[in-house]
């Protein structure tokens, strides 16, 4: 391997990356899709993996090519770039992502075993552990990549092997959505995991971890990022396949389950009995903890690099807000933050695409501002549709006339057109400027 990074350090960073992404949502989402897809699980999972795993992996590779995550918005006006990053870290951090992880850890990891409401006590303890781990960012790879993730993987392997060796049922006929367009619906569901935006946020942690191991030369950072993305993709893909299989074979025990969390709980109980609930609780709490630590670290790294804010102070503020919001008004916060996340996700992906085009050829000038504006405009239509706020007649017209609108990705084609047009225009303009002037 032509890299200055030791194999064991590379593996540790790859494991850390997998753990950062593996939140409770990643565990409970595929079982629900698997139950609905039934016998069409494989085509549905093919589409799902493209957007749920391929998109974040592509983002990590691009971030490695531009060497620092901050370069993602370097071509934007300074104020606009800072607005983007602040909104992103607020949304995936204390306003939405972290409180949700804390409450899910409590609901699935603690509540089934206790009587009464102990959310406040659990939140204080959970956030305290998060803060303790986040306070030592230099040890993040050791804590998560070398200790927590292997333990998490072992627990997931135990569940997966048991499900394969002793399935509780057989895949049933697919639901209406997955009968004739399983791949398409898989693509949509994978995109809706929003891991594309999480990859942009976690980029701060991953690149910092690579640099901390002595790899700072741009070509080496880019090379290592490819290996890290590959490790993440293999592990996350295997996890999704296993959880999807659990859902597909759960019809006999979880036919009436309301969500993936219930499916997983019933399935684990059916295989392992009472001890299965303890295993599932450990998996969920561990997955949520790695996510909150990673998000805290990413937020603190950004504010330290961009505003010279002390790392410890930012970590305390982020975790304290998370602790408060997890106990009071999370439902309202989700209502407020969800539209922002639905808008930020396509914008983040569009900026990644623009940065990638810029790395292909120095003469390409994809114009990040125009890409952002176009994506924001069409992404707003997608957000309104997802939130069921689009007027009925207008919604029908858009479904018939706007490409990918039904897939909640109407921004993609206009974004690609703008990228292509701007890049070609920049090349033509530079060629004209280089032509000799005739006498």
Residues 365 and 273 in one domain: no
Residues 305 and 348 both lie in one domain: no
Are residues 339 and 322 part of one domain? no
234 with 291, same domain: the answer is yes
Confidence of residue 63 (pLDDT cuts 50, 70, 90): very high
Domain end (from 286, 304, 328): 328
Task: Check: CB of residue 323 under 8 Å from CB of residue 120.
Answer: no
User: Is residue 331 predicted with pLDDT exceeding 70?
Assistant: no
- Count of H-run helices and E-run strands, the chain: 20, 0
Domain count, the chain: 2
CATH code at position 234: 1.20.1740.10
Domain encompassing residue 17: 7-328
Give per-residue pLDDT as tens, 149-159: 788 788 888 88
SS3 266: helix
Q: How confident is the model at residue 435 (pLDDT cuts 50, 70, 90)?
A: low
Statement to judge: residues 85 and 146 lie in one domain: yes
Handedness of CA 106, 107, 113, 115 (dihedral sign): positive
Q: What is the pLDDT of residues 247-303, one digit of tens each?
A: 999 988 887 787 788 888 888 888 888 888 888 888 889 889 988 998 998 899 899
pLDDT band at 352 (very low <50, low <70, confident <90, very high): very high
Q: Which class for 310: exposed (0-12), middle (13-18), buried (19 or more C-beta within 10 A)?
A: exposed
- Domain end, chosen from 271, 300, 328, is at 328
CB hemisphere CA count around 121 (13 angstroms): 6
pLDDT digits (tens, 9 = 90+) for 210-251: 988 888 898 999 999 999 999 999 999 999 999 999 999 998
35: pLDDT strictly greater than 90 = yes
Are residues 359 and 300 part of one domain?
A: no
With b for 16 or more beta-carbon neighbours within 10 A and e for fewer, the 216-254 pattern comes to: eeeebbbbbbebbbebbbebbbbbbbbbbbbbbbbbebb
**Sequence-distant (≥ 6) Cβ neighbours of residue 83 within 8 angstroms:** none
Instruction: Kindly report the average pLDDT of the chain as a whole number.
Output: 87
| Count of CB atoms situated within 10 Å of the CB of 6 | 12
Task: Examine the domain organization and report whether 284 and 426 are in the same domain.
Answer: no
> Per the structure block, which two tokens stand in for 111?
């509540």
Confidence of residue 144 (pLDDT cuts 50, 70, 90): confident
């Amino acid at each position: 391997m032509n890299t200055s990074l030791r194999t064991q350090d590379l593996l540790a960073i790859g494991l850390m990356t997998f753990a950062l992404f593996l939140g409770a949502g990643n565990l409970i989402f595929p079982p629900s899709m698997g139950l609905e897809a039934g016998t069409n699980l494989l085509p549905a999972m093919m589409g799902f993996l493209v957007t749920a795993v391929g998109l974040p992996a592509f983002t990590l590779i691009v971030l490695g090519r531009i060497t620092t995550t901050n370069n993602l918005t370097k071509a934007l006006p300074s104020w606009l770039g800072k607005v983007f990053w602040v909104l992103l870290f607020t949304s995936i951090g204390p306003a939405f992502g972290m409180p949700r992880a804390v409450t899910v850890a409590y609901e699935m990891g603690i509540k089934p075993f206790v009587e009464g409401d102990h959310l406040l006590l659990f939140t204080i303890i959970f956030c305290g552990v998060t803060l303790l781990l986040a306070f030592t960012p230099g040890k993040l790879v050791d804590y998560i990549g070398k200790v927590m993730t292997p333990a998490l993987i072992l627990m997931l392997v135990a569940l997966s092997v048991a499900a394969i060796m002793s399935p509780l049922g057989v895949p049933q006929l697919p639901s209406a959505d997955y009968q004739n367009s399983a791949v398409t619906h898989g693509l949509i569901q994978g995109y809706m995991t929003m891991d594309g935006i999480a990859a942009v946020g976690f980029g701060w942690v991953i690149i910092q971890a690579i640099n901390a191991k002595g790899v700072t030369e741009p070509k080496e950072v880019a090379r290592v990022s490819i290996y890290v993305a590959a490790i993440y993709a293999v592990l996350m893909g295997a996890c999704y396949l296993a959880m999807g299989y659990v859902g597909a074979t759960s019809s006999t025990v979880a036919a009436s389950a309301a969500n993936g969390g219930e499916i997983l709980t019933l399935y684990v109980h059916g295989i392992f009995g009472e001890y299965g609930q303890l295993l599932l609780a450990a998996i969920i709490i561990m997955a949520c903890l790695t996510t909150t630590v990673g998000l805290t670290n990413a937020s603190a790294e950004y504010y330290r690099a961009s505003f010279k804010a002390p790392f410890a102070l930012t970590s305390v503020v982020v975790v304290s807000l998370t602790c408060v919001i997890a106990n009071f008004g999370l439902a309202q916060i989700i209502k407020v933050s969800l539209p922002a996340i639905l808008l930020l996700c396509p914008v983040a992906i569009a900026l990644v695409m623009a940065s990638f085009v810029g790395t292909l050829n120095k003469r390409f000038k994809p114009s990040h501002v125009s890409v952002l504006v176009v994506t924001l405009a069409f992404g707003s239509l997608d957000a309104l549709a997802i939130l069921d706020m689009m007027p009925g007649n207008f919604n029908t017209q858009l479904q018939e006339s706007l490409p990918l609108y039904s897939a909640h990705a109407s921004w993609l084609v206009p974004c690609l057109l703008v990228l292509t047009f701007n890049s070609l225009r920049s090349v033509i303009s530079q060629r004209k400027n280089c032509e000799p002037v005739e006498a």
